[in-house]
Amino acid sequence: MVRRPFALILAAALALAGPLVAPLPAGARTGAPAAAPDRASMVADRFTLSGNDTLTAEGAVTIFYQGARLTAPRIVYNGKSGLLTIEGPITLVDGSGTVLIADAAELSRDLTEGILSSVRMILDDQLQIAAAEMRRGGDGGRYTEMNRAVASSCQVCPQNPTPLWEIRADRVVHDRDLRQIYFDSAQFRVAGLPIFYVPRLRMPDPTLDRATGFLMPRIRTSTELGFGIEAPYFITLGDSRDLTLKPYLTTERSRTLGFRYREAFRTGGIEVNGAVTQDRLTPDPLRGYLFADGHFTLPEDFRLDFTLQKATDRAYLLDYGITDSDRLTSGVSISRTRRDEYIGLGAYSYESLRSGDVNPLLPNTVADATLIRRFSPAYLGGEGRFSFDLHGYRRASTVRTDANGDGMVDGRDAARATAAVDWRRNWILANGMVAAIGAELDADFYAIAQDAGYPGTVARLTPYGMAELRWPWSRAGQGGATQVIEPVAQLVWSPDSGKPAPNEDSRTVAFDEGNLFAFSRFPGADERERGTRLNLGVGWTRYDPGGWTLGVLAGRVIRQKDLGQFRAGSGLDGAQSDWLLVTHLDSGTGLQVINRAIFDDAFSFSRDEFLLGYDRGRLDLSAGYTWLVADPSEGRNFASSEMIFGGGLDFARNWHATLSGRYDFEAERTTRAGLGLNWRNECAEVDLSLSRRFTSSTSVRPSTDFSLSVALYGFGTGQDGRRYRRACGG
d(CA 152, CA 156): 9
Residue 602 — very low, low, confident or very high, per pLDDT cuts 50/70/90? very high
Residue 538 DSSP SS3: strand
- Verify that 625 and 498 share a domain, yes or no: yes
622 pLDDT higher than 70: yes
pLDDT average, residue stretch 452-469: 95
Are the C-beta atoms of residues 715 and 206 closer than 8 Å to each other?
Answer: yes
Residue 454, domain member (yes or no): yes
441 plus 590 within the same structural domain = no
Question: Are both 384 and 533 inside the same structural domain?
Answer: no
Tell me if 448 is assigned to some domain. Answer: yes
Q: How confident is the model at residue 405 (pLDDT cuts 50, 70, 90)?
A: confident
Identify the burial level of 194 via C-beta atoms within 10 angstroms of its C-beta, where 0-12 means exposed, 13-18 middle and 19 or more buried: exposed
User: What confidence tens digit (pLDDT) does each residue in 687-708 have?
Assistant: 999 999 887 766 677 889 999 9
Mean pLDDT in residue range 179-191? 92
pLDDT tens track for 520-575: 999 999 999 999 999 999 999 999 999 999 999 999 999 999 999 998 889 999 99
Tell me what the mean pLDDT of segment 386-390 comes to.
97
The percent of residues above 70 in pLDDT, for the chain, comes to 93
Pick from 631, 666, 681: which residue ends a domain?
A: 631
Mean pLDDT of 344-353: 97
Residue 15 has pLDDT above 50, yes or no: no
| pLDDT > 80? residue 438 | yes
Boundary-marking domain end, from 397, 432, 461: 461
Range of the structural domain that residue 103 is part of: 2-209
In a domain, 457, yes or no: yes
Q: Are residues 392 and 443 in the same domain?
A: yes
The tens digit of pLDDT for each residue in 270-308 reads: 999 999 999 988 888 899 999 999 999 999 999 999 999
**Phi and psi of 361, rounded to 5°?**
-95, 0
**Does a structural domain hold residue 612?**
yes
Residue 538 covered by a domain? yes
Q: Which residues sit opposite 270 in a β-bridge? A: 263, 294
Rounded to a whole number of angstroms, the CA Rg of the chain reads 36
> pLDDT value at position 30?
36
Per-residue DSSP letter, 593 = E
Q: Identify the pLDDT of residue 699.
A: 64
* The pLDDT of residue 685 is above 80: yes
Which residue, among 525, 193, 575, 226, has the nearest Cα to 388 in the 3D structure?
525
Same domain, yes or no: 422 and 484: no
Confidence of residue 178 (pLDDT cuts 50, 70, 90): confident
pLDDT band at 682 (very low <50, low <70, confident <90, very high): confident
Beta carbons of 444 and 501 less than 8 angstroms apart:
yes
Closest CA to 387 of 321, 343, 432: 343
Length of the chain in residues, anyone?
A: 730
Question: What pLDDT is stored for residue 38 in this prediction?
Answer: 59
pLDDT band, residue 3 (cuts 50/70/90): very low
Q: SS3 for 126? A: coil
- Which one is predicted more confidently, 110 or 21? 110
424 & 570 share domain: no
Residues 297-323 as b/e (b if ≥16 CB within 10 A, e otherwise) read eeeeeebeebbbbebbbbbbbbbbebe
Q: Is residue 98 situated within a structural domain?
A: yes
CA atoms of 412 and 224, how far apart (whole Å): 40
The overall longest dimension of the chain from CA atoms, in Å, is 114
Residue where a domain stops, chosen among 178, 209, 240: 209
CA-wise closest residue to 395 among 339, 440, 345, 352: 352
Mean pLDDT confidence for 158-173: 88
Residues of the chain with pLDDT > 90, as a percent, come to 65
When pLDDT is cut at 50, 70 and 90, the band that residue 36 belongs to is very low
**pLDDT-based confidence at 608, cuts 50/70/90?**
very high
> What is the average pLDDT value for the chain, to the nearest integer?
88
Q: Quick one: pLDDT at residue 11?
A: 34
Predicted confidence at residue 130, as pLDDT, reads 92
- Tell me, yes or no, whether 501 and 423 share the same domain: no
How many structural domains is the chain composed of?
3
Q: Is 21 domain-assigned?
A: yes
Q: Is the pLDDT of residue 34 over 70?
A: no
**Distance separating alpha carbons of residues 232 and 218, to the nearest angstrom:** 8
Residue 77: pLDDT band (50, 70, 90) is confident
Both 161 and 17 in one domain: the answer is yes
Most confident of 12-21, 120-129, 134-143, 607-616: 607-616
Whether pLDDT at 16 is above 50: no
Is residue 136 domain-shared with residue 60, that is, in the same domain?
yes
Look at 52 and 619; give whichever has higher pLDDT.
Answer: 619
Nearest to 425 by CA among 494, 373, 377: 377
d(C-alpha 421, C-alpha 115), whole Å: 81
pLDDT one-digit tens code per residue, 245-256: 999 999 988 999
In a domain, 281, yes or no: no
307, 327 Cβ separation under 8 angstroms: no
Q: Tell me the pTM.
A: 0.83
Q: Specify whether 493 is located in the same domain as 446.
A: no
391 and 490 in a common domain: no
Please determine, for residue 437, whether its predicted confidence score (pLDDT) is greater than 80: yes
Strand partners, 425: 437
Q: How many CB atoms lie within 10 A of CB 117?
A: 15
pLDDT of residue 566: 93
Does residue 87 carry a pLDDT above 80? yes
pLDDT at residue 465 above 80?
yes
Q: Are residues 443 and 583 in the same domain?
A: no
Would you state the pLDDT for residue 384?
Answer: 96
